[in-house]
Structure 1
Amino acid sequence: MIKYIPLIFPFLLIIPDVVNFVASGFVIRTSSPAISKDQWDCWTKQGLTDALIRVYHPKGYVDAAGVANLVAWQELDEISGNQVGYSPCLANCQNNLTMVPDQINALVDELKKNGIDFDVLQILIEIDPSQPWSENKTANQQILLSAINTIANMDWNYDYQVNIISSNTSWSKIFGASFTKPSTLYSGMVNLYWIYWNGKPGLEEWTSFGGWTIPAVHEYAGNINNSPCTDAIYAIGKL
């Protein structure tokens, strides 16, 4: 059964050429660019409390660089959890794993092999509109539901939560505007990480979709490549 862990996602806006940071908690979303323990430590001194790191690539493999970033991240004393990004492979998967449960099992096995701390784990399913989703919205819905149920029903013996990363546009295009089932699953414990890069941290432009009346996170800035600690590209959001 799924266990509820509140999302710890207070964020800070970071845009190119802006390097003054407020000392408050925030999260960065990243994937492959290498981030060392010292760089993570630099980020925590800027107020970072959580990192969302994509570990499963949509081309169908566990991203070794993402795993290394996660290992370096959990070596810090200040962290409060591991946020893992899973982007489903939909076609031509490099590891030949075409079924969502097999992909998630491969992801979890790799995390275990690398000693990732599973005491508090959150897996976020990334809805990537650049991937070859079917024109059949019902088929796409089944892929997402399979991912949610696989994560939620694994007997991992630790606390975890499954969440979804998507924009309103991607949701409507891929699943259909009327598709709301994920928001109702597991007593409403499947949260939404809303992508809408408008440069504003608030929810003034939020419009309900997918059955969620409010997002857990608003990611409001992306393609960021200038920061005090690294040159990697991040996306930043705010609760």
Structure 2
Amino acid sequence: MKVLVLLSLFAVIVSADRYGLDMAVPVNVSTWRCWLNQGFSFASVRAYHSFGEIDENAPDSIANAIEAGFAPEDMAVYHFPCCCGAKKSADVQVAEMVDYLAQSQTNYSIVWFDVETNPSRNCGWSTDSDTNCAFLKDLISAAASRHLVTGIYASKYMWQSIMGGDRCTVGGDLPLWYPRYNQDPSFQDWAPFGGWTQPYMKQYWDHEPHCGVDADVSWRPN
């Protein structure tokens, strides 16, 4: 069964649609080249930790991707926000990430804000969905004030449990990247929520089997 899954993944990667990766670990040039040769063409790199600090690996990982042949416009970063019990406001968190990436002249086209359970101490989302919705709105506003393109990473389940479902439509006009690990690179399983009528991208597998580095696999139509 595992062999069939791997062959199926490779078969779809050579199609006209686009496949990408996201990771929370540093990645060297040779691994990026391996991924490029496997047919992956875009990536999202963690730039802000769930415990409320910048990820210092992001600039080097992105620079290595570009050296390997990935286009700068196909590189993205994701921000895992530390909410609600945090000492840092949404504006401070965004500023820390943006300033650090700017110091390294890091290329990225979009910032994805991660809406999912936060395991870090004193950084979890509030039990009050209105508070969480307001914090996300502050994150988006902080990014907009710095002229950044932004999107939201969230599943329908996480949006319901954290943001209160359709009570919160903050970000509903932004691109949505949603996870469902069914190894199906399509939107056949999509169901609207939170103001989104259609998604931009789907994370459909939580383990990248090639090239020796753990990463999630996403798909988007061309």
Answering whether residue 147 of structure 2 is matched by residue 147 of structure 1, we say: no
Deviation at 1:16, TM superposition (A): 7.2
Which amino acid is the alignment partner of residue 156 of structure 2? N
Once residues 175 and 209 of structure 2 are traced to their aligned partners in structure 1, the CA distance between those partners, rounded to angstroms, is: 29
Aligned alpha-carbon RMSD (Å)? 2.4
Once residues 167 and 55 of structure 2 are traced to their aligned partners in structure 1, the CA distance between those partners, rounded to angstroms, is: 30
Deviation per CA, 1:13-55, whole angstroms, max 9, x where unpaired?
A: x9975574533531101112x2111211221122222111111
Cross-structure match for 1:89: 82
SS across alignment from 1:75: helix
Q: Is the 8 A contact 1:124 1:165 kept in 2?
A: yes
Structure 1 runs, 4 residues or longer, greater than 4 Å off: 14-19
SS across alignment from 2:132: helix
How many residue pairs end up in the alignment? Answer: 210
Deviation per CA, 1:65-116, whole angstroms, max 9, x where unpaired?
A: 23321221233444133200001112676xxx51111011110111011121
138-147 or 108-117: bigger deviation: 108-117
Once residues 185 and 208 of structure 2 are traced to their aligned partners in structure 1, the CA distance between those partners, rounded to angstroms, is: 19
Answering whether residue 90 of structure 2 is matched by residue 106 of structure 1, we say: no
Cross-structure match for 2:209: 226
Cross-structure match for 1:8: none
Cross-structure match for 2:58: 66
Deviation at 1:204, TM superposition (A): 2.0
Deviation at 1:201, TM superposition (A): 1.8
What's the % identity of the aligned pairs? Answer: 20
Q: Is the 8 A contact 1:192 1:216 kept in 2?
A: yes
Structure 1 unpaired stretches of 5+: 1-13
SS across alignment from 2:178: strand
**TM-score, with normalisation over the residues of structure 1?**
0.79
Structure 2 unpaired stretches of 5+: none
Answering whether residue 31 of structure 2 is matched by residue 31 of structure 1, we say: no
Cross-structure match for 2:112: 124
Deviation at 1:195, TM superposition (A): 1.1
145-154 or 60-69: bigger deviation: 60-69
User: Which has a greater percent of strand?
Assistant: 1
208-217 or 67-76: bigger deviation: 67-76
Between the two structures, name the one with larger relative contact order (CA 8 Å, sep ≥ 6): 1
Cross-structure match for 1:213: 197
Which amino acid is the alignment partner of residue 200 of structure 2? A
